[in-house]
Amino acid sequence: MKALEGFVRAVDGVNEAIGRAVAWLTLAMVLITFVVVILRYVYAVGWVWLQESYVWLHGVVFMIGAGYTLLHNGHVRVDVIYRPAGPRYKAMIDLAGAFLLLLPVLVLIFYVSYDYVLDSWMRLEESREAGGLPGLFLLKSVILAFCVLLGLQGLSLAGRSVLVLLGHPDYLPADDEEEEEPETL
């Protein structure tokens, strides 16, 4: 049990740190978009590399931040079934969902995209647009990082579910824990 608890804590810690770091890229996206709009509509100037940069950042935020989102139960669920369920039933749904849906899809995405990313690295692929960003191969690598980070978080979710099923309520997702009643005056 200690090994499973250690694994869950380690993966959760990694995705927490990465998610918080990647969240700062959203600020960069907003600022770059603001600069692009000002340059385009006030000064009639535009650079392809600058426009591509916020699109690339957008992709990085969503792909790399997916594990963080799963850690904080931010992905879409069928709340008609899940929300009113008890902790054990939720743990069974999470366990089945991780092994029957999430992990097989991530393995398939990794398998299908591996050669695509490898080919991009072999050619040191750049943007197809004149004046675009170099290093498209780095952006494509985010696909594999997405699979690894979200897959690890899926395994952590499965580990949490097993721990809950074995009677460790401290591994319940945050929204399932008993909340204290607010004091009334």
Domain range summary for the chain, segments of one domain joined by +: 2-172
CA dihedral of residues 10, 12, 14, 15 (deg, nearest 10): 160
Q: CB within 8 A of 75, min separation 6: which ones?
A: 69
Query: What was the pLDDT predicted at 180?
Result: 44
The two tokens of residue 14 are 């990694």
CB burial readout 36-65, b (16+ within 10 A) else e = beeeeeeeeeeeeebbbbbebbeebbebbb
Are 173 and 160 in contact by the 8 Å Cβ rule? The answer is yes
Query: What was the pLDDT predicted at 80?
Result: 78
Query: What was the pLDDT predicted at 36?
Result: 94
Query: What was the pLDDT predicted at 11?
Result: 95
In tens digits, the chain (185 residues) has pLDDT values of: 889 889 999 999 999 999 999 999 999 999 999 999 999 999 999 899 999 999 999 999 999 999 999 998 887 776 777 778 788 888 898 899 999 999 999 999 999 999 999 999 999 999 888 888 899 999 999 999 999 999 999 999 999 999 989 887 777 766 544 444 445 55
Handedness of CA 111, 108, 57, 20 (dihedral sign): negative
Phi, psi of 65 (to 5 degrees): -80, 0
